[in-house]
Amino acid sequence: MIASLCGILDFQDAVYGPITYELDHCSGRLRSLGRSADTDWLIRYWKRRVPTGMPVARDFSEFYRDYEWMGVQRHLKYWVFCAPYHRDGKDGYLKSLPLVMAYLRAACARYIDLSRY
């Protein structure tokens, strides 16, 4: 049956961007398991990508920083979802804001360039 062969491709607006963008999105579920599960998953991903010539930092600490900074950027964008509350009274996204803030505080505290924020 042809329907069983179909799927959905989500190109995220079909823009070229940092390789860590989708990694941050995919690992969101891992964050609830803790930072060590997140880091383990990222190390395995990174080790497999470096030899392929993909545009990942050759040093894992740089790759991890790129990943975390992308996470900060994506979490800051989460505040846009406050608009449905103010505009339409929909409060569904507000329930996630404590987790968003916890991630932002923890990630920013690990980097001098972000710690003042």
* Residue ranges per structural domain of the chain: 17-115
- As a whole number of angstroms, the distance between CA 37 and CA 35 comes to 6
- As a whole number of angstroms, the distance between CA 25 and CA 69 comes to 13
- 49 to each of 18, 55, 113, how far by Cα in Å? 14, 8, 27
Cα end-to-end distance, the chain, whole Å: 54
pLDDT computed for residue 53 by the predictor: 87
- As a whole number of angstroms, the distance between CA 93 and CA 84 comes to 8
Q: For each of the chain's 117 residues, which pLDDT tens digit applies?
A: 444 455 555 555 666 678 887 776 665 544 555 667 778 888 998 999 999 988 889 999 999 999 989 889 888 887 787 888 888 888 888 888 888 888 889 889 999 999 876
pTM higher than 0.75, yes or no?
Answer: no
